[in-house]
Structure 1
Amino acid sequence: MDNTIEPEHTPVLAERVAELLAPALRQTGTARQAVLVDATLGLGGHAERMLTAHPELRLVGLDRDPEALRRATARLAPFGARFTGVHAVYHELPDVLDELGIAAVEGILFDLGVSSMQLDVVDRGFSYARDAPLDMRMDPTTGISAEEVVNTYSVGDLTRILRDYGEERFANRVAKAIVAARGRAPLTSTARLAELVRDAIPAATRKTGGHPAKRAFQALRIEVNGELESLRAALPAAIDALRLGGRLVVMSYHSLEDRMVKRAFAAGASSTSPADLPVELPGTEPVLRLLTRGAETPTEAELTSNPRSASVRLRAVERIREAA
């Protein structure tokens, strides 16, 4: 294993994330230690920045990837007991906080999608650009791999995954090509799968939109890791975990995630009083205040310094009312 701490890793939208979270983490006038949950710790870039900026802050970092957690823990070791790393998926947030004896927190950060480390380590199988075993598990110690998915799922299930998670126009054609190919020999290679997808998509369509296999690889990764199901459970849990005045920041990297975040935030920022009443009923006021106007995108400067930020969409909210 590579033991480097990855100091060159650049977290996405670091300045904006710090700016949005700061008001909730400044516990002026209270003896309570502010707590921030980094629900997708990765290599610890955002966590390091926040711990440095807020000397009294306690940070709980979650990651399902044991190797990412190990590297981040090494990186954040200088902060001592102010950092707690936990091997967990973000939908497990309530259980993590309960086990740590934390009733509520001042801030939560989600930086969704695949991490830089997972893309860069070839044998993890996330990239269509380099040949590797078909794995794609964020936690390689558990769950099904992409190899199992492409070699065992029916045409119908593969079509659904490619269409719903990858927004692939030619989902059925690609699914049929996969099933036909595995009938001759099991699919075990990212390069072979990328080739199959490319050949299944009409030549005229391949000329635009990047690599033809991009959408298929995204869809398989989401299926293997149960990403949308985890996010669907994690968003209400995160909102519930916020103290009054606490803030939640979410960075998404594709439309399915962003749509889910947008709906959850919009629901929390809306009154639940019947629309035809002249006054708002007590206890039906919004629970959240939107901190961003729509989804924020990276600046030109961010894109130049960190090209992997190109598809990011950032949304943030503040808790303005306790639950009824």
Structure 2
Amino acid sequence: MPDQPASPAPGPSPQSPKKHVHIPVLLHEVLSALDLRPGLTVVDGTVGAAGHSRKIHEKIQPGGTLIGLDRDSLMLGYAAQFIDGEHVQLLQRSYSELPDVLQELSLGPVDRILVDLGLSSDQLADRERGFGIQAGGPLDLRFDTRQGVPAAEYLRTVSADDLTKMLREYGEEPLAERIAGAIVDRRKTQPVATSEDLAELVRRIKGTRGDTHPATQVFQALRIAVNREFDHLRTFLDTVLPACLAPGGLAAVITFHSLEDRLVKETFRETERWDNLTKKPLVASPAEIRLNPRSRTAKLRLARLR
């Protein structure tokens, strides 16, 4: 699903976001792995509410530069509340566009790059785009509403076969075919339009058991599809990281999805280009998982560019 052209948006949204609720995952592990010191230039490719970047910015002063990117203007608004100044750049861009960003800023290769591929708790609480199953709202699911099409529109046009394939690949959903068929049948009379619509449709098929909502994998798959997340990640791993890191520079990637982790693992095993610093990914401690259950599936991988 190709992105539609977007008008330039050099900075965060002018709207004042509400108080943020997100807790950064693996914060101690990230700060330790990145080996931060004053004067470094660091890119946070998914700056979010600056949970990682606030601490990164502190550790690279004096003289360090922080570049924070995010496709979501709401998250940039949060970030701007916590980090600003002469040596901070916050831009509404994808991490896959980093080569263009560095060129526009007249910067060469950087010292560190961090990407956290998780969905923020603040996004889950936003009723405007329907990320959160419990929060509800219009079924949009786009990070950048200037690009692509909303999830509800996608569901009105996608074929049952393509929808089944997408739910299996991106959501690892065992009942993908039944759910896809139900969505296609429903749109003959009343298409799925809200998060509540989709959550209830899936609940009727799967029932309710355990602590996880039965529609979680379906929402994950749809979000990945409408934002073309794997396309961005593949571009980032294949071309952006090698082009934008200085020799000896460190790349850190946090994943929450098995396919994402596999892509990162395979990339960092390319020994002609990378020194793989995490044979096994770093994961959250039991204490962190108790404090922040969303960290349970987080995996951090680190590599140094040769």
Structure 1 residue 161 corresponds to structure 2 residue 166: yes
1:26 aligns with 2:37: yes
Query: Quick one: which amino acid aligns to residue 73 of structure 2?
Result: P
Contact 2:37 2:59 in 1 (8 A): no
2:110 aligns to what? Answer: 105
Matched, 1:220 2:222: yes
Match of 2:262 in 1: 259
Asked whether the equivalents of residues 126 and 135 of structure 2 are also in contact (C-alpha less than 8 Å), the reply is no
Alignment counterpart, residue 183 of structure 2, candidates 178, 199, 202: 178
* Structure 1 position 289, deviation (Å): 1.2
Partner of 2:246: 243
Pairing partner for 2:100 from 95, 98, 117:
95
Percent identity (aligned): 40
The structure showing larger relative contact order (alpha-carbon pairs under 8 Å, at least 6 residues apart) is 2
Matched-pair contact (CA < 8 Å) for 1:5–1:75:
no
Q: Does 1:310 align with 2:288?
A: no
What RMSD over aligned residues (CA atoms) do the two structures have, in Å?
1.7
Q: What is the CA–CA distance in structure 2 between the aligned matches of 1:172 and 1:222, rounded to whole Å?
A: 18
Check the 8 A contact 1:5/1:74 in 2, yes or no: no
* 2: CA distance, partners of 1:81 / 1:5: 24
CA contact (8 A) 1:251 1:315 kept: yes
* 1:26, distance to aligned residue in structure 2 (A): 3.1
* Aligned mates of 1:26, 1:67 — CA distance in 2: 29
Does the CA contact (< 8 Å) of 2:126 and 2:132 recur in 1? no
Q: Is the 8 A contact 1:26 1:34 kept in 2?
A: yes
Q: Quick one: distance in 1 between partners of 2:19 and 2:88?
A: 16
What is the aligned partner in structure 1 of residue 273 from structure 2? Answer: 287
- Which letter does structure 1 place at the counterpart of 2:205? A
Q: Does 1:11 align with 2:13?
A: no
Unaligned runs of 5+ in 2: 1-14
Alignment CA distance shift 1:172-1:3 (3 Å): closer
Larger Rg over CA atoms: 1
**Residues 113-192 of structure 1 correspond to what in structure 2 (within 5 A)?**
113-192=118-197
The one-letter code matched in structure 2 to 1:52 is E
Q: Which residue of 1 aligns with 2:59?
A: 53
Cα distance in 1 for partners of 2:66, 2:144 equals 22
Q: Stretches of 4+ moved more than 3 A in 1?
A: 1-6, 206-209
Question: Runs of 5+ in structure 1 lacking a partner?
Answer: 28-32, 271-285
The count of corresponding residues between Structure 1 and Structure 2 is 290
The 3 A distance-change label for structure 1 pair 81 and 245 is same
CA contact 2:22–2:120 (8 Å) conserved in 1: no
- TM-score with structure 2 setting the length: 0.90
Contact 2:17 2:74 in 1 (8 A): no
CA deviations on 1:224-269 (whole Å, 9 max, x unpaired) are 10101100001121133211221000000111111111111112xx
Residues 128-156 of structure 1: per-residue CA shift (max 9 Å, x gap): 22331111111123221111111111101
CA contact (8 A) 2:288 2:295 kept: yes
